[in-house]
Structure 1
Amino acid sequence: MTHLRSKRLPGRGRSLAAVTVLVASFVVGAFTPAEAAQPAAAPRWADEPHGFASLAGGTTGGEGGKVVTVTDQVSLVRYASAAEPYVIRVKGAIDVEPFGSDVVVASNKTLIGVGDTGEIVHGELHLGPGTSNVIIRNLTIRDSYVEGDWDGKTTDFDAIQMDTVDHVWIDHNRFEHMGDGLLDIRKDSRYITVSYNQFKNHNKAFGIGWTSNVQTEITVDHNWFSGTKQRNPSADNCAYAHLYNNYLSAQVTDGDPVWTYGNWSRGRTRMVIENSYYDGVQHPYQADATAELVQRGSILKNVSGRQDVWGEAFDPRDFYAYRLDPAAAVPALVTRFSGPQKRIGTNTTLQVPGAYPTVQAAVDAVPDGNDGTVTIRIAPGTYREQVRIPAGKPKLVLQGTGQDRADTVIVYDTPAAYGGSNGSATVRIAANDVTARHLTFSNDFDEAAHELNGEQALAMKTVGDRIVFEDTAFLGNQDTLMTDSPRLDVISRVYIRDSYIEGDVDFIYGRATTVIERSVIKALSRGSDTNNGYITAASTWKDNPYGFLITKSKVISDAPAGSFHLGRPWHPGGEPAAIAQVLFRDTELPAAIKSAPWTDMSGFSWKDARFTEYRAYGPGAGAGADRPQLPAADAGTYTVGKYLAGVDGWAPHTVRR
């Protein structure tokens, strides 16, 4: 706020640990287990590589690079072949021209279909020698087949082909009706995992090898081979080939006695097959005399031909942990969960630090006009930076990953004198649909050490709509938390739950409709015996019935009795249409609250504002001419749901995490 107030007096310190203990000791409005929503069922897959692709440094794809969304061949080719890392979201079908052309994929890339919409049609993804660290997920790659070329002798239009690469994860894709192989992993490629894919309607499905060396390490799990003839897969000279929980069904039968088969351990391959399901397959698994093949736990139904087992191969658990599903469950699991999934690719996760050294770097990586939720997971630590989330980057989640919100702190020390109240904010959120959890936001500017004209120092400013804070702390003095909107007559909504807010002068202020529920608010002493500050300074638009609701919360204070106000009406720039609305409801008030808790501001009377209390309690509660009470008959109009619903029925308070 630009209206100046007296600065606080020296002599106050802050401890994050103390804040944590304080809030933990006051649990308000807790819901019972019966009221809590049950957690969603865990997905059948993880969003990070497993098996051999997780070893030797792991496979991270484009992590650390920008997230981009492509809908055309030019953009796909540009980002896939770039030298720098990218997370490339493929949205809709991309028709590759000329027919059968390669799309080169360089190192450090993630290609991921958005929901089940991403398709590469008539083209091949090609990973050349030396390519490393690539993730290809949730795509359909189809239809480069040339009629009459069933054996793939005249074209080489694979779905994915890779030569001498390392650390590649191929996951949740559908490959169908291509010109030669569906998936060719060739020439000493290493640390590969192929999981939850569908190989359909094809002759040569999936080959591994084309080398005399014995180097490739590959995990093949939960894939569905349907309407294919051979190479399901064929593994030649693999050092380790681990196949488990795969489903082979509806094999093409054309009378070929040799080249119609399921799995083949060739050359000097060591292959382990576990808990797979073969239905109507000729030669379900076979091995060359020079190879080794161990099979255990699989189910064979209506099969014929070779079922070779010899040698000791290897123990996959010597390399990585994994979970085996029962073979009997494989058909149902694999048909349901393999191939592109609607939930994959719509949401993105970015890690801070590591791939992104700062929170702002991760925000900058989010594409403008982002159409899927991006979660920025922030490791415990103190991040001394200002963070700006512009309006063009909606649907972000800032999530601390420590055990307590005090473990992960975003802090800066700019006062309004150096950047205006807007520029002073440690974090500023202009985008819609942003959520923050398990974090502390702080502005640790030291008022006592400076003599400035403009000591306001915001920890947080929001402008966007549908903003949620869960288990967060806001630390500051004057103007700690501002919830605003783009214009006076535009309504933005903010929901704060299970959180902690501290400050002294107008430290919860602005014009956004704001609900603070089940939280602790600390009114800090400035050393005065009579006036230490004001909790709220709302500037609600006159046509908005809902300003600030503080409910089922607790106000605490280290200030002397009768020295703190609940609030005053803020009219920015003398705007007469800003008519504050504040309700303290079912909230405990300390002795520090004045018996006449509302006061005037800048020539505007508090009596013209919409200030009320309802069922407040504690030593600072009271009633009288200077303490307007919400009539019981109106209580149903001023609830959390009413404040937040707006025209779109927004109800974040009903979601329990």
Structure 2
Amino acid sequence: MRRPVVRGIQAAAATAALVVGAVLVLPTPQASAATGGVTGYATLNGGTTGGAGGQRVRATTGTAIHTALCTRASSSTPIIIEVEGTINHGNTTKVSGGSCNTAADQIELKEVSNVTLVGVGGGAIFDQLGIHLRSASNIIIQNVTVRNVKKSGSPTSNGGDAIGMESGVHNVWIDHNTLYASGGEDQGYDSLVDMKADTTYVTVSYNTLRNSGRGGLVGSSDSDLGNGPVTFHHNLYENIDSRTPLLRGATAHIYDNYYLGLTKSGINPRAGGKAKVENNYFRNSADVLGTFYTDLMGYWQVGGNIFDNVTWSAPGTENHPAGPNPTSTTTISIPYAYQLDAAGCVPQIVASTAGAGKGLQVSDGNCAPQTPTSPTSGPTSGPTTPPNPTTPPPTQPGGTNLSLGAGADGSSKASGTSYGNVCDGDPGTYWSPSGSTGRVSVKWDSATRVSRVVIREASGAVGTVTGWRLVNNDTGAVLATGGTAGVATFAATSLKKINFEITGASGTPRIAEFETYAG
């Protein structure tokens, strides 16, 4: 049986490291920094390899990132910048040099090429600080979190874009990142991934994009039509108002993405833009495909998608939804090889693989992914160590995780945690009770058939739970009991609410995911 593939990273030899200024220079391994796994349009036009084969440096501040760029022999000298820690305005200054052109208010990849920016170790968080690409090529941004970048208010960065590309940018791979805001334009935020002013040959894969008014665009206006092509695959778009993405004149291949809670509109080709939309899963969303807010029509080719509780508005002036029964209005030829997951598997696979801190796992097209217990040998563009390397997480069952999009409550919650974190598909968030025991529940509006549960503890807390029971909240019946948290199976039961009750623990439990399955 085929499984998700892990791209590992070779650990740095700390004893051989050399500190130059604020930058930790790491020895270059015999194997080049291969980027294996780049797919889609970024593989064309000469391909996208980032800093493969170049010097590796470790950066824990934004200034160190800029210093690494500026101390290269030239603006095209390959470099892999491994980022760890929190990058913010306080530790990001402008650095000058012949091989760079930086700014203090953003991470500036301007007039450079052959660069990999990758999160390692405990993770890389760009806090209120965007990543800006301008006149840049052959760039990889991988395994980082960019959050709460503002265009108004304080502090501001990068026009409010988490990742923004403009002015002759080409061959970029945005992969396994977590990008989010805490609201829309009214709260000062703009977009998560924007491409404009001649940005071409880009792949956006295995990212989590959430809680934003705008997911992203390709083309900043109806006259900015020279962008694309772009591939979007295996991304999670959650709680986004619109633009997932907006395509002005651009061609996009959009497959195996999971769209959850799109409130206004979704994929929006316009002004001649074209999208091949296949094997995506749309859930609890509105107007997920069509030309919206204009009469400058775009076009789409559809196939294999699932529309789960999707609502469609009535056609009208400047409103051209593809549904309620989407049919193709064009044909798009894809010039590269790719492997599709069935749409029914997409929520499960994306929840297991998309976002930062997930070991750079990818799907190989099989519907029963399993989180490996350790990384395979391979490229250096991944995490230094996998999460919980000594304790494998539970095997993922087949089928759709019914908890995604469901409600949640519980008996108590520790400060900084939330009940909803157990059903958001993100292992980086979690719920904890206020003590060592407590209850968290998943609930639905109508009776839902469940026969298997997977409890995933957060990184660093695996094995904390020492006793538990699953209870049908509707009847009080105990469905299963156990010691260590993991997989529980029981006779199929229709219920509206299921409780996970922690009866014993060696410390404060941290429950990352409370997954439920019909079979």
Which amino acid letter does the alignment assign opposite residue 306 of structure 2?
I
* Separation in structure 1 between the aligned mates of residue 247 and residue 68 of structure 2, nearest angstrom: 32
Q: Does 1:293 align with 2:300?
A: yes
- The reply to whether residue 323 of structure 1 matches residue 328 of structure 2 is no
Partner of 2:107: 103
Report if aligned partners of 1:286, 1:307 keep a CA contact under 8 Å in 2.
yes
Structure 2 partner of 1:117? 123
8 Å CA contact retained: 2:268, 2:289: yes
Query: Closer, same or farther in 2 for the Cα pair 1:85/1:53, shift >3 Å?
Result: same
Q: Relative to structure 1, is the Cα distance of residues 51 and 146 closer, same or farther in structure 2, using a 3 angstrom cutoff? A: closer
> What are the within-5 Å matches in structure 2 for residues 421-570 of structure 1?
none
Q: Kindly provide the CA deviation profile for residues 327-382 of structure 1, in whole angstroms up to 9, marking residues without a partner as x.
A: 1111111112100134349999579xxxxxxxxxxxxxx9xxx9669xxxxxxxxx
Q: Deviations over 1:415-462 (max 9, x none)?
A: xxxxxxxxxxxxxxxxxxxxxxxxxxxxxxxxxxxxxxxxxxxxxxxx
Q: Which residue of 2 aligns with 1:139?
A: 144
Take 1:291 and 1:337, find their aligned partners in 2: how far apart are those partners? 31
Pairing 1:246–2:257 present: yes
Matching residue of 1:390:
none
Equivalent-residue separation in structure 2 for 1:347 and 1:71 (angstroms): 26
Q: Which amino acid aligns with 1:104?
A: E
Q: In structure 2, do the counterparts of structure 1 residues 349 and 86 end up closer, same or farther at CA, with 3 Å as the change threshold?
A: farther
Mapped partners of 1:247, 1:115: distance in 2: 28
Pick one of 308, 311, 315 that aligns with 1:304.
Answer: 311
Q: CA deviation at 1:145?
A: 3.9
**SS of the counterpart of 1:90?**
strand
Structure 1 SS opposite 2:345: helix
Q: Which residue of structure 2 lines up, in the alignment, with residue 544 of structure 1?
A: none
User: Partner letter of residue 287 of structure 2?
Assistant: H
Counterpart secondary structure, 1:332: helix
Question: Measured at CA, do residues 181 and 232 of structure 1 come closer, stay the same or move farther in structure 2, by a change above 3 Å?
Answer: same
Distance in structure 2 (CA, Å) of the matches to 1:104 and 1:286: 34
Q: What CA distance in whole angstroms lies between the structure 1 residues aligned with 2:232 and 2:377? A: 25
Q: Deviations over 1:382-436 (max 9, x none)?
A: xxxxxxxxxxxxxxxxxxxxxxxxxxxxxxxxxxxxxxxxxxxxxxxxxxxxxxx
**Hey, what's the Cα distance between the residues in 1 that align with 2:231 and 2:84?**
28
Q: Check conservation: 2:283, 2:308, Cα contact below 8 A.
A: yes
- The corresponding residue for 1:205 is 215
**Residue identity matched to 1:320:** Y
| 2:233 maps to which of 202, 221, 227 | 221
Q: Which amino acid aligns with 1:59?
A: T
Partner SS for 1:212: coil
Partner of 1:91: 84
Per the alignment, do residues 97 and 154 of structure 1 end up closer, same or farther by CA in structure 2, a change over 3 Å counting?
closer
Q: Distance in 1 between matches of 2:213 and 2:232?
A: 19
Tell me by how many angstroms 1:144 deviates.
2.5
Could you give the per-residue CA deviations for residues 108-166 of structure 1, whole angstroms, max 9, x where no partner exists?
A: 1001111561111111111112x1100000100012347889xx999822111111200
Letter paired with 1:51: G
SS at match of 1:330: helix
Contact 2:149 2:157 in 1 (8 A): no
| Structure-2 separation of matches of 1:193 and 1:162 | 13
Change (3 A) 1:116 1:333: farther
Partner of 1:159: 162
Higher relative contact order (CA 8 A, sep 6+): 2
- Give the unaligned 5+ runs of structure 1: 1-38, 253-259, 352-365, 374-657
* Whole-angstrom CA distance in 2 between matches of 1:53 and 1:177: 26
The DSSP-based 3-state class of the residue aligned with 1:117 is: strand
Gaps in structure 2 of 5+ consecutive residues: 8-34, 93-103, 183-188, 313-320, 362-374, 387-519
TM-score (norm 2): 0.54
Pick closer, same or farther for the CA change 1:109–1:148 going to 2, 3 Å: closer
Which whole-Å CA distance do the structure 1 matches of 2:377 and 2:140 have between them?
14
Determine helix, strand or coil for the equivalent of 2:224: coil
CA contact (8 A) 1:175 1:198 kept: yes
Partner of 1:48: 37
**1:394 counterpart residue number:** none
Distance change >3 Å, CA 247–CA 108, structure 1 → 2: same
- Deviation, structure 1 residue 56: 1.9
CA–CA distance in 1 between the matches of 2:55 and 2:153?
Answer: 43
Asked whether 1:263 is paired with 2:263, we answer no
- CA change 1:336–1:42 in 2 (3 A) is closer
Amino acid paired to 2:333? D
How far does residue 168 in structure 1 lie from its aligned partner after superposition?
0.2
**Within the alignment, does 1:78 sit opposite 2:67 as a pair?**
yes
State the TM-score, normalizing by the size of structure 1: 0.43
Checking the alignment, whether the CA contact within 8 Å between 2:149 and 2:156 is kept in structure 1 is no
**Contact (CA 8 Å) 1:264, 1:285: kept in 2 or not?**
yes
SS at match of 2:159: coil
Higher strand share: 2
Please report how far the alpha carbon of residue 313 of structure 1 lies from its aligned counterpart in structure 2 after TM superposition: 3.4
- Structure 1 residues 184 and 146: alpha-carbon distance in aligned structure 2, compared to 1, 3 A threshold: closer
In structure 2, relative to structure 1, the CA distance for the partners of 1:98 and 1:89 (3 Å cut) is: closer
Change (3 A) 1:103 1:310: same
Structure 1: distance between partners of 2:81 and 2:53: 12
**For 1:169, what is the secondary structure of its paired residue?**
strand
Return closer, same or farther for 1:261/1:342 CA change in 2, 3 Å cut-off: closer
In structure 2, what residue type is equivalent to 1:244?
Answer: Y
Larger Rg: 1
| Residues 274/233 of structure 1: CA separation in 2 closer, same or farther (3 Å cut) | same
Report sequence identity in percent: 29
Q: Aligned partner of 1:274: which letter?
A: E
On the 8 A contact 2:150/2:157 being kept in 1, the answer is: no
Summarize the Cα distance change of 1:146–1:50 in structure 2 as closer, same or farther, 3 Å threshold. closer
Rounded Cα–Cα distance in structure 1 between residues aligned with 2:322 and 2:132: 34
> 2:152 matched to 1:190?
no
On the 8 A contact 2:175/2:205 being kept in 1, the answer is: yes
Whichever residue aligns with residue 311 of structure 1, its letter is: T
The alignment of Structure 1 onto Structure 2 pairs a total of residues equal to 305
Aligned-residue offset at 1:281: 1.1
